[in-house]
Amino acid sequence: MDVRSLIARIRDGEVPQAADLQGFAAGLADGSVSDAQAGAFAMAVCLKGLSDEGRVALTTGMRDSGDTLEWDLPGPVVDKHSTGGVGDCVSLILAPLLAACDVYVPMISGRGLGHTGGTLDKLEAIPGVNVTPDAAAFRRIVGDVGCAIVGAGGNIAPADARLYAVRDVTATVASVDLITASILSKKLSAGLGAMVLDVKVGSGAFMKTQDEARVLARALVDTANGAGCPTAALLSDMNQPLAPSLGNATEVALCMEVLAGAPAAPRLTELSLALGERLLTLAGQSDPRPRLEAALSSGAALERFARMIHALGGPPDMAEDWRTHLPKAPVCRPVPAPADGRVAAIDGEALGLAVVGLGGGRARESDRIDPAVGLTAVAGLGHCVATGDPLAWVHARDAATAERAAAQVSAAITLGTAADTTPLILDRIDP
């Protein structure tokens, strides 16, 4: 493969050969492609795009640049991916819920990015949990428990790690083709038999409009199916936090209530069930909704979650005594409503950044996360308040950061006479 010729063809709007794109991915992984060539390739793709076939070829080439998993299990192997939002802790509910329905979930997750939280950071709020077990332990936990939520290993899609680092410094992150290949190369390396995607739309998401979210969802679904993995997507509303708690331990606590059957977060519960229903249908189960609801109400999903936590090094009694184990912030104060009214709009990104300012996320890669801080009881769209009623509760390390976060939360929530609410599930993208 001539890397320069490949870059030139993409630059000139020509359709590259699949073998050349796969060879380029291999060159990223083994170092034969230079940083300059990687940057030029990323810019050419960003400006001219790839064909559908080219996107599949780049994705599978990046997937195959490192380790890929194969499974010998008595049920389907499935997973879910979210594009990220505020108060999005679906993974903590969905993975054990699916495991309780006789499928296996090797969920490779990530850390917080910008204003959005990370599943791994949330899990690490539980004392003792190790989200980077070795490959043998990962396989054992998936086989024994039915699910394991972990970080990517060192040799998962190394071509993506290399290209992403180049994209980050060359203004080429915002390419649907490259975003698609980056997401799917890591997910598909887990040897999945089916996958569902949750593409977020709104003020708390990276995608602010339905049109741009639909373009990304269509690219992800078509590429995953082209790579041999049956995949569908839901577009979900993120114009308000998915759950009324934001942070790490605060979100885990909410998930424990949901898994225990409490009506603590209706939107979070409904989206988890909807994603599970679509995924189990893709995996070959008929009419799976009643089974999912039963697994949640019976405590079967809670039992799977507790077993997974213990297998990852966490406490053995998480199901019964989770309140004892989760850290609590020393300062807890309300955010009073400045006037009577109804919650008319919420700036989800601003709420996420308030959590980052408390120490619940990272402003820089080297920052350490405080697992105890965050927000709880965040008022949703349409909620009526009187002057002085709490719009949310701030959990902070000290009074000064609590005061600063309270001001940010107050500024992020707009009161009015009516709320412009949208459905939770905005669209469905099928193969």
Q: Which residues lie closer than 8 Å to 338 by C-beta, 6 or more apart?
A: 387, 410, 415
- d(CA 328, CA 324) in angstroms, rounded, equals 9
* 328 assigned to active site: no
- d(CA 236, CA 233) in angstroms, rounded, equals 10
- d(CA 114, CA 360) in angstroms, rounded, equals 11
**Residues in the chain, total:** 431
* 119 assigned to active site: yes
* 367 assigned to active site: no
- DSSP of 294-353, one letter per residue? HHHHTTHHHHHHHHHHHHTT--TTHHHHHHHHS---SEEEEEE-SSSEEEEEE-HHHHHH
Runs of H (alpha helix) within 234-265:
249-259
pLDDT tens string 251-289: 999 999 999 999 999 999 999 999 999 999 999 999 999
- Please compute the mean of the pLDDT values over residues 162-188 and round it to a whole number: 90
- d(CA 324, CA 32) in angstroms, rounded, equals 52
* 200 assigned to active site: no
* 82 assigned to active site: yes
Q: Which residues lie closer than 8 Å to 299 by C-beta, 6 or more apart?
A: 259, 260, 261, 319
* 395 assigned to active site: no
* 160 assigned to active site: no
From the list 65, 109, 119, 180, the catalytic residue is: 119
Decide: 418 and 405 in contact? Cβ < 8 Å: no
pLDDT tens string 206-261: 788 999 999 999 999 999 999 999 999 999 999 999 999 999 999 999 999 999 99
Q: How far is CA 303 from CA 153, 310, 342, in A?
A: 27, 11, 39
- Which domains are present in the chain? 3-63 (1.20.970.10), 78-322 (3.40.1030.10), 331-416 (3.90.1170.30)
pLDDT at 115 over 90: no
Q: How confident is the model at residue 106 (pLDDT cuts 50, 70, 90)?
A: very high
From the list 79, 88, 121, 237, the catalytic residue is: 79
Q: How confident is the model at residue 76 (pLDDT cuts 50, 70, 90)?
A: very high
Decide: 429 and 214 in contact? Cβ < 8 Å: yes
Q: Parallel, antiparallel, or unpaired: how do β-strands 194-201 and 231-237 relate?
A: parallel
- DSSP of 59-82, one letter per residue? HHHHHTTS-------SS-BEEEEE
DSSP 8-state secondary structure symbol assigned to residue 16: P
- d(CA 165, CA 119) in angstroms, rounded, equals 21
Decide: 214 and 222 in contact? Cβ < 8 Å: no
Q: Does the pTM of the predicted model rise above 0.85?
A: yes
From the list 80, 162, 278, 291, the catalytic residue is: 80
